[in-house]
A and B are shown apart, each in its own frame.
Chain A
Amino acid sequence: MKFNLSKSRLSGYLQSVLQVVPSKSALPVLSNILFEALEDKLKISATDLEVSITATFDCAVSKKGSAVLPARYVAEIIRELPESEISFDGTSSRVEMKVPNGSYKIACFPADDFPKLPMVNTKKQINVDAADLVSMIRRTTFACSVDETRPALNGVLWSTKGDMMSMVATDGHRLAKVSVENKKLKGMSEDIIVPPKVLNIIPKFADESNGEIGIIFGENNVIFNLGDVILSSRLIEGPYPNYEQVIPAENDKRMVISKSDLAGAVRRVSILSNTLTHQVKFNIKNNSLTISTTNADVGGEARETLSCDYTGEGVELGYNANYVTDILAKIDGEEVIFELTNAISAGVIYSPSIPKDNFLCLVMPLRLAD
């Protein structure tokens, strides 16, 4: 293997790939990066077995070959080097990095020890608008569960049906669902559960992909074709719970309120809330919302009243303040709509500027002490 390239060119791609290298792993080879010198191209890959990343870019290759190099050492050496041309020369067992003032030699892992990465079959690729995908990701991943006893909820349910594509995430206390129309789906119908880790990496590359991201739905994995960079992730075993039955079809109470006023008040009031439950009380009647909390542990009480546009009987509900502020941060526009039924049913939250069918959030109330 022998190739030359500039520090800045390698460094950019190396930083991308490093995002996937696990800080600790039971398999030592995962702390390494696979370098493959191909015809006029260099391909660098890393994986933590769940998410894999490969960056392929033009490079002056004088001898083809591959080597598995320790990510930490390579990254630190490249970072500390001044801008210069670097020449890599070596075999699969030892590689020398020649720089203007000297050289660095590193022992390699056997290339065969590196896990096989998924094959990319672009025939099955569909294209999605990058902005749409990033917005779907930003609006859902926050609601994924971290409780490992229900693994399906640790991921985002990504469904395609007809021309519609939707993503849903829930941890049982809150839910976010977003749908967009995409004429390029070619009528495909898939339901996959994607770990949030790979989805959260995509926005970092989205701008670099000419406005579209290629997606390949596999049986066991999903692949994102971002041009120079290919990201893939294994999927979470299903089935995903039937979330639709928890979305209330009809709510008889409706509150329209300023989003920034509400978010600010909830954040402030919650400072004095119970540190475990973060419970705040919403008392809504006569076009006014009173948010309050009491905390016997610190002897604290807080109360703020905001005006709102409310239709329906007065109601008193308890919410986890963090869940409410998380949701409000994802909703666009100046106002937000709450649709409510009673103190034990889920409240539906959405923006007046986006149809409810395209983006809604759900939050379960907390039971208020009598």
Chain B
Amino acid sequence: MVSRILLSSFNNNKLASTYLFYGADGRGKWAVAIGLAALVNCEEPIKDNSGKVADSCGNCRNCRQIENLIFPELHFAVPITTHKNEDEANDLVRGYLNLKAENPYRIINSGPQIVAAANDFRHKMPQIPNGKKIKDIAIAQQLTIPIELAREIKRKTAIRPYGGTKRIIIFYQMEKMLQSSADALLKLIEEPPPETIIVITAVDPDALLPTIKSRSQRIRFRPISDSIIAQYLFERHNVESEKASFLARLSEGSIGQAVLFIEDGDMSSFRQTAFLLFKSIFARETSSAMAAFSDLINPMDKSESEQLLNYWQSFLGDLIRIKSGMPQSGILNIDLGKELENLAGKIASAADFSAMLGYIKRMNQALRRNIHIRIGMIALLLGLRQYINQNP
């Protein structure tokens, strides 16, 4: 998959040396980056009637190696869990890549998932004397791109690429790289070596260093249309068309989110937790709402809290739609329709809705600044509760 912008730049020989792909997770930033790597390295690209390249062939040796993420000139820096040594870091990266090779839209934000994939990789490769299993991690750790990966990429770029190939470096979820590591990469990003294209991805470009933003050509990944997502779910995951349409609507333009719903069991258990917590905002007693928060929120897991807030935004959006009299068919969380209708009655005005949305957005920004999660979430709860009318 290659975006039209990139294809046109490629055909006009005007590809930039550094790209910044931004937009919510699961909208195809990874898939497009891999598509770009295949496009520039394909041995027999598909051409249209006018002789311009329309896509990579997907069959040549380079295309297949790129699709399997084993192309020698495709380098990655991805967020992983803490690790004991370089071997473990390499295997965690390979585990991450294997998850992505299975499904390029998959959203990976759980440490245990990466550790399990890395152990699976070790298990399947007995000829690699890697030793024992990587220890499972008990709590969902915050993922970071370690500085060793940044250094390794710098080292690799000091060597000239294989003849006849273009080197692609993907810094995936760059906001998860420590600033000191990002500083070390500034020169590389500003002046990539010859025959090299750097792709940086981020959910929010404002979370990156201004120097990185200013040195890259930005491409925004907008929400994917519900029909495309539904078709994807139907074709790739054998989801029946009615359910596919429902999941597509719920995933708000993110194929990755829709895939999460499928992989996470029936209608995502985490979404149900998120809705339970959302309902507790409306609870009569503050103490019972706070108890639910203490029990259900993992104070160590930033990505889980971010996901929780995304669900809340989606629930609150539906409340606004219900309040404004939109028909049932217009709401996203259609399976929760009845309960949402009850909750919508507890908020008095449109101004209150927008104030609540503002609170959630500010909390999302605060999470990126590494605030204390539990205190932040309780402050958010108290902030939101002031708009709830307990006796409508």
Contacts and interface: CB of A to CB of B under 8 A. Distances in A.
B279 interface: no
18 contacts: A24-B87, A24-B128, A25-B90, A26-B94, A31-B127, A50-B159, A72-B129, A73-B127, A113-B68, A116-B61, A195-B159, A219-B160, A219-B163, A220-B161, A234-B161, A236-B159, A237-B158, A237-B193
A24 B94 CA distance: 13
Nearest to A192: B160
B303 interface: no
A26 B159 contact: no
A49 B64 contact: no
Contact of A28 (B64, B94, B162): B94
Interface string B325-364: 0000000000000000000000000000000000000000
Interface string A141-168: 0000000100110100000000000000
B163 A27 contact: no
A324 interface: no
B183 to A, nearest CB: 13
Interface string A76-120: 000000000000000000000000000000000000110110100
A115 B163 contact: no
Contact of B160 (A26, A27, A221): A221
B72 A49 contact: yes
A195 B156 CA distance: 12
B93 interface: yes
Interface in B128-145: 128-130
B68 A235 contact: no
Contacts of A221: 160, 162-163
A145 to B, nearest CB: 12
A29 interface: yes
A218 interface: yes
B159 A24 contact: no
B64 A112 contact: yes
B94 A148 contact: no
Nearest to A109: B127
Most chain A CB within 10 A, of B61, B129, B158, is at B158
A28 B162 CA distance: 19
A218 B163 contact: yes
Interface string A8-30: 00000000000000001111110
B84 interface: no
Q: Which 10 residue pairs of A and B lie closest in terms of their CB atoms, listed nearest first? A: A151-B158, A70-B127, A220-B160, A115-B72, A220-B163, A26-B90, A235-B160, A234-B159, A49-B72, A28-B125
Interface string A341-361: 000000000000000000000
Contacts of B70: 27-29, 113
A124 to B, nearest CB: 13
Contact of B162 (A26, A27, A70, A234): A234
Contacts of B158: 148, 151-152, 154, 236-237
A237 B61 contact: no
Nearest to B75: A26
Nearest to B69: A27
B243 interface: no
A237 B128 contact: no
Contacts of A115: 72, 162
B127 A236 contact: no
B65 interface: yes
A220 B128 contact: no
Contacts of A234: 159-162
B308 to A, nearest CB: 34
Nearest to B127: A70
Nearest to A49: B72
A31 B155 contact: no
Contacts of A24: 86-87, 90, 128, 130
A112 B193 CA distance: 28
Contacts of B372: none
Contacts of B52: none
Given A71-B127, A113-B65, A234-B160, 20 more contacts: A26-B90, A26-B94, A28-B70, A28-B128, A29-B70, A32-B127, A49-B72, A72-B127, A72-B129, A112-B65, A113-B70, A115-B72, A151-B158, A154-B158, A220-B163, A221-B160, A234-B159, A234-B161, A236-B160, A237-B194
A237 B160 contact: yes
B368 interface: no
Nearest to A221: B163
B154 interface: yes
A250 B87 CA distance: 51
A118 B72 contact: no
Interface string A218-247: 111100000000000011110000000000
